[in-house]
Amino acid sequence: MVNRERMAEEFIELVKIDSLSLNEKQMAQVLKSKLEAMGYEAFEDDAGTKAGGNCGNIICTVKGNMDVPAVLLMAHMDTVVPGTGKKPVVDGEYIRTDRTTVLGGDDLAGVECILETLRVLKEDKIDHGDIQIVFTMGEEVGLLGSKNLDYGRIYAKFAFIMDNGGPIGTVAVKAPSQNKIDAAVNGKSAHAGIEPEKGISAIQIAAYAISMMKLGRIDAETTANIGIISGGHATNIVCGRVELKAEARSLDEKKLEAQTQHMKQCLEQAAEKFGGSVEFKSELMYPAFKIGENDEIIGILKKASEASGIELRLEATGGGSDTNIVNGNGIQAVDVSIGMDKVHSVNEQIKIEDMAKAAEFLIAIIGKGMLQIKEK
């Protein structure tokens, strides 16, 4: 049985540890020793060295007694700013902070959910297959832990990433890919009062280009945005250069490419019209994933929902997470809600009951959910 008091107590213990992105070392050591105290061997990979953090991902494999494919459970160790000296407060059925920092329930509630699940599986002698656990570093600063994970050690077929919000039972089964766009428009500087005809305004080129661009919601699967535009020095100088930072996202890689090309073309056409030039760089931040209705992992979730009595809510998300990267590495992965609420703000909170229910759902996934794979 899931122990709510034990969960709340351990979650508070974790929240009190500073664990900003790329500075997760202390958290990693605590988690490693907790896994070892349960009798499991925990290993730290070299993601930290590769990604510029002070520790790697924590990887642990728990052998099972059931002949089913292995599952991967994942949560990230890092929390966002303001996140040092976090002071958790129990407020009725919620745990929150003193409102000066985030709580870090994103994603320490996911970490706690996995720890409690491992304990209950053992205590209640629940049959299960092999379980691989990965606590990632650097998720909030570019999914660095999952991108640099030592996949050679991972043989799981299905992954449950415990890093989603919404009512317990909410599972993200679709998420877009994202292109990060860095562009610059070059015009020509000149004195704006004496000889403006010798200048080419980069601001005018960029404005013309943007006025032709489809932005915002493009279709049900695709979005695009120009987030930052900067340039210019003084009113008496025709602006010679403007820099733009933008993004495009889509559940469909072809649509993502089409939107990115469209944005590039608008800039190029405008530059041609006014006699300027364009530098355009686009980088894929993470791939999209779309789990199909008939994919095996949906069957596992449905069975777990039935066994736990927790209603399953399949959703598409607009954000990117470790789930994108794990899917991109050939492991079917979904992002499961742990009840985190108002994340990335000082008003972040979590209901103790939600955390406990998330653990119950995860136990049902690993037990009854995976059992139906065997029975099939």
Catalytic residues: 78, 139
* Closer CB to Zn ion, 222 or 317, in the complex: 317
For residues 313 and 305, the answer to whether their CB atoms sit within 8 Å is no
What is the identity of the amino acid at 89? V
Distance in angstroms (rounded) separating the CA atoms of residues 221 and 122: 42
Smallest CA-to-CA distance from 218 within 249, 241, 254, 197 is with 249
Task: List residues binding Zn ion (CB under 5 A).
Answer: 106-107, 163
10 Å CB burial of residue 266 (0-12, 13-18, 19+) is buried
Q: Which residue has the tokens 């364009």?
A: 278
244: which 2 tokens?
């733009």
Could you give phi then psi for residue 189, rounded to 5 degrees? -75, 145
User: What gap in Å lies between CA 177 and CA 179, rounded to an integer?
Assistant: 7
- How far apart are CB 2 and Zn ion at their closest, in Å? 22
Q: What is the DSSP string of 193-227?
A: TT-GGG-B-HHHHHHHHHHH---EEEETTEEEEEE
CB of 65 to Zn ion, least distance (A): 32
Rounded to a whole number of angstroms, the minimum distance from the CB of residue 18 to Zn ion is 17
| Alpha carbons 127 and 98: distance in angstroms, whole number | 41
53 vs 187 by CB, closer to Zn ion: 53
Strand partners, 249: 178, 223
Instruction: Quote the least distance from Cβ 186 to Zn ion, whole Å.
Output: 39
Residue (163 or 354) nearer to Zn ion, CB = 163
Q: Which is nearer to Zn ion, 171 or 224 (CB)?
A: 171
> What's the min distance (Å) between Cβ of 142 and Zn ion?
13
- The distance of closest approach from Cβ of residue 108 to Zn ion in the complex, given in angstroms and rounded to an integer, is 10
Report the C-alpha gap between 355 and 150 in whole angstroms. Answer: 29
Torsion-angle region of residue 11: left (phi > 0), alpha (psi -120 to 50) or beta? alpha
- CA pair distance 366, 141, nearest whole angstrom: 30
Residue 80 is classified by DSSP as P
Q: Angle at the Cα of 88 (from 132 to 118), degrees rounded to 5?
A: 20
**Measured from the CB atom, is 344 or 374 closer to Zn ion?**
344
Question: How many whole angstroms separate alpha carbon 146 and alpha carbon 228?
Answer: 28
| Nearest CB to Zn ion, comparing residues 206 and 325 | 325
| Nearest CA among 154, 74, 129, 119 for reference residue 371 | 129
Nearest-approach distance from CB 135 to Zn ion, in angstroms: 12
Nearer to Zn ion, 276 or 328 (CB): 328
